Chains A and B, each alone.
Chain A
């Protein structure tokens, strides 16, 4: 059964395999059309120099109409970056993953956006409500209704 989501994803995958990922982004795992893993590094001078993070994408049948569930992997010794918009459980507060998702965006576009979000970070710190959020956070970040109030980063 080739649904629209898997056809679209297979094209994205093909593009990645043909043209490669942008610098600092690497595909780790894409064995099916439900979960993909990428590693993410910030190139050049930044607070995250020499750090590598793992990003997890989860897709549902409604992709690309509905956004993918994107979060940093925080198991197996991997860490989420310390960033005002990234919770310690790996959840990311970014509007393009929520109400500003657009179906013309792609997996690579999301990776690049997050990369630049990290690159432009001025101060390494967790979100102010990190503890409270992580305690009650749903398993899937898409179930959280984030409130986006900072458009500087």
Chain B
């Protein structure tokens, strides 16, 4: 139940091209909205980059995809590498402008449609759009009418956010449209001055590198060949960027790899769109927590594990003995010592999602080299 609600909540929170009327009613708008979105994450391009084949993706999305396979996800062009990525600031600008005018435009479109045809089947949806866009309208107009107390500081990024928007703001990992910040003169000055000092620091870089890392530089981090590095050296790399150095070798290497990826993806954005290093560090932390929930845990002491799971093994062996009983079909595999019934319809499916499988499963289930 609660999960279902959560989905409803997320569904109503998510903006997508279908917010706009279909092509037959208002030509182009829905298409425009969808062509400004990355085909990997279906969000608006975030730091758009272009491959040599011309296809465009969010920098982070394509970096993740290329780490799996060196081809363009759209046209499968071969031998695409991270070094081939080219920033696409023009697209970024278009996306920013579109984000700013989107809710406004939606309201206009829906208003004018409401006059023409009030009995359209998507009326319900339209209503919610209107109420939503009303809360999301340009703050420069709303801040006049609303008092200062309607705004709160986001506990994560310290941005001024409307009280009623704070939850969705944090859900989006503080990635609101830039227009949401309260346009107070002090903040604006801070921005200008901050931007200036960043430019300066990027010029003077090169010397005391470790100490100036706090500030933004324009240079991407090189990827490391971790095989040649000792644990200690990896930890040094991490501490250079003020990242936690805890965890085993696998963890710290994964952390550094991810850091290089998100750091470099961030550099593909124009200066004013970039996240600060502290926000990047928080993103990294969030990512690690998410990873932890799904990673298989290795069995540290095989003997102890064997003893602990002995009854389970005995049962499996018993079931596998050729007695000709069809019973053995009822157990298909072991996950962390629990039986997973082969019946996986409806309610049982959640428990047997791939994430719960212990690292041991693969050891038992020898990959069958099935051919077809």
Which residues of A are interface residues toward B (Cβ below 8 A)? 1-4, 6-8, 10-15, 18-19, 29, 31-35, 37, 56, 58, 60-61, 64-66, 69, 73, 75-76, 84-85, 87, 91, 93, 99-100, 102-104, 127-129, 132-133, 136-140, 142-150
Give the residues in chain A near B366, CB-CB below 8 Å.
136
A136 touches B371 (CB 8 A): no
Does B10 interact with chain A (Cβ within 8 Å)? yes
Least Cβ distance of B102 to chain A in Å? 15
A35–B349 CB distance below 8 A: yes
Are the C-beta atoms of B367 and A75 separated by less than 8 Å? no
Which listed residue (A14, A18, A147, A150) contacts B369, Cβ 8 A?
A: A147
B332 CB contacts on chain A under 8 angstroms = 137, 139
Other-chain residue from B69, B76, B346, B371 in contact with A29 (beta carbon distance below 8 A): B346
Residues of B within 8 A of A1 (CB): 290
A128 vs B69: C-alpha distance when bound (angstroms): 30
Task: Tell me whether A58 and B43 are in contact in the complex, defined as CB-CB below 8 angstroms, given that A129-B371, A133-B370, A143-B365 are known contacts.
Answer: no
Bound together, the chains give a CA A3 to CA B349 distance in angstroms of 20
Q: Which of B11-19, B106-114, B185-193 contacts A (4 or more CB under 8 A)?
A: B11-19
Known: A31-B7, A33-B7. A58 touches B42 (CB 8 A): no
A103 touches B73 (CB 8 A): yes
Q: A2-B171, A7-B10 are in contact. Are A34 and B350 (CB under 8 A)?
A: yes
List the 10 closest A-B pairs by CB distance, nearest first: A93-B372, A133-B370, A139-B333, A138-B365, A104-B39, A35-B349, A102-B73, A127-B372, A18-B18, A103-B40
The interface residues of chain A lying within 8 Å CB-to-CB of B353 are 34-35, 58, 60
Decide: A32 and B3 in contact? CB cutoff 8 A. yes
Would you give the shortest CB distance from A3 to chain B, in whole angstroms?
6
Cβ contact within 8 Å between B11 and A14: yes
What is the bound-complex CA distance between A24 and B364, given in angstroms? 39
A–B Cβ pairs within 8 angstroms, 8 of them: A7-B42, A8-B42, A19-B18, A60-B354, A65-B61, A144-B367, A146-B372, A148-B372
Q: How large is the interface on B (under 10, 10 to 19, 20 to 34, 35 or more residues)?
A: 35 or more
Residue of A nearest to B6 (CB): A32
**In the complex, which residues of chain B have a beta carbon less than 8 angstroms from the beta carbon of A137?**
332, 365, 368, 370
Q: Are A15 and B16 neighbours in the complex by a CB distance under 8 Å? A: yes
B340 touching A8, Cβ below 8 Å:
no
Given A32-B350, A34-B349, A137-B368, 15 new contacts (CB under 8 A): A2-B13, A11-B16, A14-B11, A19-B18, A65-B61, A73-B345, A75-B343, A104-B74, A128-B371, A136-B366, A138-B365, A146-B370, A148-B372, A149-B372, A150-B372
> B64 within 8 Å of A by Cβ?
yes
**A29 to chain B: which residues have CB within 8 Å?**
346
The minimal Cβ–Cβ distance linking A18 to chain B, given in whole angstroms, is 4
Within 1-55 of B, Cβ neighbours of A (below 8 Å) are at 3-4, 7, 10-11, 13-14, 16, 18, 39-43
Q: Residue B68 at the A interface, CB < 8 A?
A: yes
CA of A127 to CA of B14, assembled, Å: 42
Pairwise interchain contact A65-B345, C-beta atoms closer than 8 A? no
Give the CA-CA distance A99 to B41 in the complex, in Å.
Answer: 20
Closest to B8 in A: A10
Selected from A11, A76, A139, the residue in CB contact (under 8 A) with B14 is: A11
- Nearest chain B CB to A130 CB, angstrom units: 9
Of B80-88, B274-282, B355-363, the one touching chain A: B355-363
A103 to chain B minimum Cβ distance, whole angstroms, is 4
Contacts of B345 in A (CB 8 A): 37, 73, 75-76
**In the complex where A65-B68, A75-B344, A129-B371 touch, is A143 in contact with B14 (Cβ < 8 A)?**
no
Q: Give the residue name and chain of the A residue nearest to B11 (CB).
A: A10
Contacts of B346 in A (CB 8 A): 29
Interface mask (B335-353 → A, CB under 8 Å = 1, otherwise 0): 1000010111110011011
A14-B41 CB under 8 A given contacts A60-B354, A133-B368, A142-B354: no
- B294 near A: Cβ within 8 Å? yes
**Chain B residues near A84 (CB-CB < 8 A):** 372
Q: Which of B4, B343, B372 has the largest number of chain A CB atoms within 10 A?
A: B372
- Is B146's beta carbon under 8 Å from chain A? no
Q: Which residue of A lies closest to B68 (CB)?
A: A65
Min CB–CB distance A100 → chain B (angstroms):
8
- Could you say which of A7, A128, A145 contacts B41, with CB atoms under 8 Å apart? A7
Question: How far is B354's CA from A149's CA once the two chains are assembled, in angstroms?
Answer: 27
Which one, A12, A61, A91, A145, contacts B294 given CB within 8 A? A61
Q: How far apart are B82's CB and chain A's nearest CB, in angstroms?
A: 15
Q: Is the CB of B333 within 8 A of A138?
A: yes
Q: Are A65 and B64 in contact (CB under 8 A)?
A: yes
